[in-house]
Structure formats: C-alpha cells, structure tokens
Structure 1
C-alpha cells in the first residue's frame, strides 16, 4: 500500500475490512483456512442473517470464497480467504501496527517502517 509520507495511518484502513464483524470473519478464516458457517456464526456471536450480510460484502469485494455443499444430508456453507483477502487482512494489520506505533511513540510513523 503506497502512501504519502504525511498521510495519517488511519487513512490507510480499509472500510470493508476494518468493520468489527468483517475483521473477525477474515481473522477466523485466516486461522482456520476453511471455516464452516455455523462455527463462524457461533464464534462471532452473530445471527445467521447478520453473518450472511457481512459475507456477501466480503464475497463481493473478492476477499472470501463461499462454497456450498453437503455433509451427509445436511446442507453446509464453508468459506475461505482468497489471496486478495489474505493481502487485505495483512495490509489492515500493518496499518493498525502503524497507528499503534504512532500512539505509543507520540509521533508519525515513517512509510515502510513496521512496528517492533
């Protein structure tokens, strides 16, 4: 992510990724590589409808892949991060680290410098 040196790190946060529920979805999917809808719903404390809406946003943005199928006789939905989703999550974490460093050190974080 290329930024102007004087651009504040908060400007680099992605509104699609940064929303709490969507950040949680991407994080759990990153940890699990492939996660079942019901597990994700329970882990994040969401209703099925709420989770579905957030997944639709992430899928439309190309950040997750949704796979529908059956496990035995039960319909199941799984999701996994796409390469773009993995990059978006990593970029978001990088921007959050820059923001944390800015707060902890009381000054701007130079572009290309990661927090310790």
Structure 2
C-alpha cells in the first residue's frame, strides 16, 4: 500500500464516516449520524458521495414497519482510507 492523498476524504465528515465503518460489519444510519455528530441531510449527502465513489455499500430494509439504512465500507473504501491515513501520517513525520 502506497500512501496517497484522497481529496474525497478531505471534505465534510467523510473521513470520520469511513473511520467509523472500518471497524464495523454494518452500521445503521442513526449510529453513523450520532457518532459523527452531523445532521441527517449531511450524512445522506456524504454517504451518497462515498457510495458513488465505490467506497461505501448501502443496504436498505425495514425493522418492523420502520425503514432502515445500513452502511459498510467496501474493499475499495478500506484501501482508500488506509492509503489516506498513511499519507496523513507521513505528513506528520515531516512536520507538515
């Protein structure tokens, strides 16, 4: 894995969403929203962008009569996150 800057992960809460999901099989919308500390519309917008990039898989379903949405990081999302975090670590090593 080569450290690489990923501009997609530098906007809004996308890095936080990916970091949260790296340790989860699936996380529901409310958990992501509450953990990241952003509103519904912000989470919706940024998870859609991550999904469009192939970083996030979205599953929709229901629990009882209530609609639910779950997210998980794809392999491409894990690779992008790992490379971006390595790039950030490298920056810190150079004092940037």
Q: TM-score, normalised by structure 1?
A: 0.76
Runs of 4+ in 1 over 4 A off after TM superposition: none
For structure 1, list consecutive stretches of 5 or more residues without a partner in the other structure. Answer: 3-8, 105-116
Aligned residues: 96
CA RMSD of aligned residues (A): 1.7
Q: Which of 18, 41, 64 is matched with 1:49 structurally?
A: 41
Q: Give the conservation status (yes or no) of the 8 Å contact 2:12–2:46.
A: no
Q: TM-score, normalised by structure 2?
A: 0.91
1:79 deviation in Å? 0.4
Aligned residue for 1:32, secondary structure, equals: coil
Q: How does 1:4-43 map to 2 (within 5 A)?
A: 12-43=4-35
For structure 2, list consecutive stretches of 5 or more residues without a partner in the other structure. Answer: none
Cα separation, 2, equivalents of 1:45 and 1:98: 28
Cα separation, 2, equivalents of 1:98 and 1:18: 16
Q: How does 1:1-116 map to 2 (within 5 A)?
A: 12-103=4-95
Higher relative contact order (CA 8 A, sep 6+): 2
